[in-house]
């Protein structure tokens, strides 16, 4: 599309929606706040998401977990396999698994016990289903976010609005025919 001339009529777009409920994708995929970081990583990776809402037992959005949160956690997490204790130093010390050769096909995996609630961003930018679309766009631009969550009056998560959802509802203004 580079180098193509855009006609003035194509520059005029209108958002064909009135309320957040018309823009949102209903029933967004979410993750429990007590899920592990490994579960969050699998969810975001397998689904190709950059972020997902974090919900409590009542289905209320309590935060957002993003790929950035996972990367920061991974960078800041320290893993020490620190000096092995030799039997001559402490005859009662238990030998670590990695000191003996493992049978072929076996590996030692370190399990990260960190939960999503420990690393999530504990802020949820949300709107109600009846929020006017102009407010939705203004909020997304003002907050510099790619998505807003839609919650009902009880703060239960009912949808998500992404920048792509807004773009899907853009349509060219039809020039009046004379």
pLDDT per position as a tens digit, 73-100:
988 886 655 454 444 555 555 555 556 6
Domains and CATH numbers, the chain: 14-75+88-172 (3.10.580.10)
DSSP symbol at 102: P
Q: Which two tokens stand for residue 177?
A: 């025919």
pTM for the whole thing? Answer: 0.69
Distance between CA atoms of 112 and 126, rounded to whole angstroms?
31
pLDDT per position as a tens digit, 121-158: 999 899 999 999 999 999 999 999 989 999 999 888 99
């Amino acid at each position: 599309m580079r180098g193509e001339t855009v006609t003035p009529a194509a520059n005029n777009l209108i958002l064909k929606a009135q309320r957040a409920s018309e823009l949102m994708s209903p029933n967004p995929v979410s993750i429990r706040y007590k899920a592990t970081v490994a579960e969050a990583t699998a969810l975001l990776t397998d689904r190709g998401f950059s972020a997902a809402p974090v919900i409590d037992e009542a289905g209320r959005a309590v935060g957002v977990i993003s790929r950035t949160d996972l990367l920061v956690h991974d960078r800041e997490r320290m893993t020490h396999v620190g000096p092995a204790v030799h039997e001559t130093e402490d005859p009662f010390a238990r030998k670590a698994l990695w000191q003996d050769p493992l049978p072929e096909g076996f590996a030692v995996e370190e399990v990260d016990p960190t939960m999503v609630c420990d690393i999530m961003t504990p802020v949820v930018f949300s709107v109600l289903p009846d929020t006017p679309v102009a407010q939705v766009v203004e909020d997304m631009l003002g907050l510099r976010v790619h998505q807003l969550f839609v919650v009902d009056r009880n703060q239960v998560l009912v949808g998500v609005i992404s920048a792509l959802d807004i773009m899907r509802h853009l349509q060219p203004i039809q020039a009046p025919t004379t």
